[in-house]
């Protein structure tokens, strides 16, 4: 009976100690390994593009003016319609010019008759000269008159040709093929030769020019990249440079279906805007583009042979605003890399320093893991968005050198590791 209180006390101690042991066992258990989704970095040729503004301009423009004066009798074309080169646009009263042609034909016939007369006289004097039938002076005068008559034939021939040309010019023809503007005159109007006011303007719209404005600093940067080898032009066509490819966006935001090429770059810089004009040529078979339209262009500057594209959600920034990325290094441990980015391309960043082909980039998970933390790589959908609440530090990297050159979406360079 005396041992019952002692046994009760021992049992109470055991009950108090067991929960404490369980708590110590729980605290000593290692924390779970964070799981991350990674993508393996690949390098591949990446075309670099730039958004630039521009305006359309006609490929060829011709102002039509009359070469002779007179009254317009007929206008056999429709304003605003397409015309072919050589098509008659205006007909000027031809009667005065027909009379001038007839007059010159008579003058030419008279000059030819004078040639025959003087030729016969000079030949007769030439035969009489050895017999002293005529003096040497008389023969020289006859020969000179014959040669003057020959020159007179040439003069009258030229005058006749001029009269015929003036008669032909009474039909004002289109110098080029294209679309006509409004006509400045109607039948019955009096026009004069080479007048200051044009009768109309013809514009060739297929193909059509697009004049693009680019800053001189961007042009210098592009040329330095080409000389340094970090950027290469596209392949050539038939031994000639292919030219920079250009795509077009209309004023309403719709893409233009045809692709153009840069034809020339101006050799002078506009001092008021520090910009250079690039001229591109676009097909315009349907006449959609009209001169003077404002358009947005996407110019392909060149191709980076070993470009690395990284999804934007995989890049964060540190407290100083520098872009960083987390990769899984040796032993499946987290590493933080300082990056240098050139520009954004669609939903990706073009990384120039800090990553290389074969690196395992962390796309999701363990956002707060410190460098050196052991992680577990799991499979996931490539390019999937980060887990909820994990993207608070994924602000765009500061110091983006090409932030103004954002173009359409490209394929991500990060593929899913198995």
CATH of the domain at 340: 2.40.420.20
Given its phi and psi angles, is residue 230 left (phi above 0), alpha (psi -120 to 50 degrees) or beta?
Answer: alpha
Residues 134 and 144 in one domain: yes
Of residues 350 and 301, the one with the higher pLDDT is: 350
Average pLDDT, the chain: 79
pTM for the whole thing? 0.64
Q: What confidence tier does 399 reach under pLDDT thresholds 50, 70, 90?
A: very low
Residues 122 and 177 in one domain: no
Residues 270 and 298 in one domain: yes
Radius of gyration in angstroms for the set of CA atoms belonging to the chain, rounded to a whole number: 44
CATH code for position 263: 2.40.30.170
Residue 400 has pLDDT above 60, yes or no: no
Last residue of a domain, one of 150, 168, 186: 168
User: Would you say residue 21 lies in a domain?
Assistant: no
pLDDT tens digits, residue range 89-108? Answer: 999 999 999 999 999 999 99
Residues 297 and 253 in one domain: yes
- What is the percentage of the chain residues whose pLDDT exceeds 90? 34
Q: List Cα–Cα distances, 118 to 78, 141, 154, 159, in angstroms.
A: 56, 10, 16, 22
117 forms beta bridges with none
User: Would you say residue 18 lies in a domain?
Assistant: no
Which pair of tokens denotes residue 20?
């404490």
Where helices occur in 303-407 by DSSP H, the ranges are none
CB 317 within 8 A of CB 296: no
Q: Which domain holds residue 134?
A: 95-168
Residues 309 and 299 in one domain: no
Last residue of a domain, one of 304, 335, 369: 304
User: Would you say residue 338 lies in a domain?
Assistant: yes
User: Would you say residue 20 lies in a domain?
Assistant: no
Cα 104 → chain centroid: 56
Residue 391 has pLDDT above 50, yes or no: no
Of residues 72 and 397, the one with the higher pLDDT is: 72
Number of domains forming the structure of the chain: 4
Which pair of tokens denotes residue 265?
């770059």
**Token pair 């009798």: residue:** 73
Alpha-carbon span 97 to 67, nearest angstrom: 12
Alpha-carbon span 296 to 405, nearest angstrom: 12
Residues 75 and 190 in one domain: yes
Residues 160 and 187 in one domain: no
pLDDT tens digits, residue range 364-379? Answer: 887 777 888 888 888 6
- Look at residues 304, 385, 295, 298 and name the one whose alpha carbon lies nearest to residue 350: 304
């Amino acid at each position: 009976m005396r041992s019952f209180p002692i046994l009760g006390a021992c049992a109470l101690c055991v009950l108090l100690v067991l929960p404490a042991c369980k708590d110590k066992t729980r605290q000593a258990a290692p924390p779970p390994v964070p799981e991350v989704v990674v993508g393996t970095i690949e390098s591949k040729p990446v075309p670099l593009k730039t958004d630039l503004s521009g305006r359309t301009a006609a490929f060829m423009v011709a102002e039509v003016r009359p070469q002779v004066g007179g009254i317009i009798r007929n206008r056999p074309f429709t304003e605003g319609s397409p015309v072919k080169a050589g098509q008659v646009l205006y007909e000027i009263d031809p009667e005065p010019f027909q009379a001038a042609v007839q007059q010159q034909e008579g003058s030419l016939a008279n000059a030819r008759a004078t040639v025959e007369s003087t030729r016969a006289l000079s030949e007769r004097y030439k035969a009489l000269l050895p017999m002293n039938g005529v003096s040497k002076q008389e023969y020289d005068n006859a020969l000179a008159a014959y040669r003057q008559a020959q020159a007179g034939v040439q003069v009258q021939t030229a005058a006749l040709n001029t009269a015929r040309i003036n008669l032909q010019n009474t039909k004002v023809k289109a110098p080029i093929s294209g679309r006509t503007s409004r006509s400045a005159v109607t039948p019955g109007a009096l026009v004069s030769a080479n007048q200051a006011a044009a009768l109309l303007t013809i514009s060739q719209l297929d193909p059509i020019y697009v004049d693009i404005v680019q800053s001189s600093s961007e042009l210098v940067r592009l040329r330095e990249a080409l000389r340094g080898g970090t950027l290469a032009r596209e392949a050539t066509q038939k031994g000639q440079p292919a030219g920079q490819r250009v795509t077009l966006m209309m004023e309403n935001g719709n893409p233009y279906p045809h692709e153009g090429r840069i034809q020339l770059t101006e050799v002078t810089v506009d001092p008021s805007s520090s910009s250079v004009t690039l001229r591109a040529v676009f097909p315009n078979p349907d006449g959609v583009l009209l001169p003077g339209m404002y358009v947005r262009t996407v110019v392909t500057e060149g191709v980076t042979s070993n470009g690395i594209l990284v999804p934007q959600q995989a890049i964060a920034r540190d407290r100083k605003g520098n872009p960083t990325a987390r990769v899984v290094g040796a032993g499946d441990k987290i590493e933080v890399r300082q990056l240098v980015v050139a520009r954004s391309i669609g939903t990706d960043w073009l990384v120039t320093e800090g990553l290389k082909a074969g690196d395992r980039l962390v796309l999701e998970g363990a956002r707060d893991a410190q460098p050196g933390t052991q992680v577990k790589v799991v499979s996931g959908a490539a390019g999937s968005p980060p887990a909820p609440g994990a993207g608070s530090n994924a602000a765009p990297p500061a110091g983006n050198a090409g932030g103004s050159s954002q173009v359409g979406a490209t394929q991500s360079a990060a593929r899913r590791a198995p």
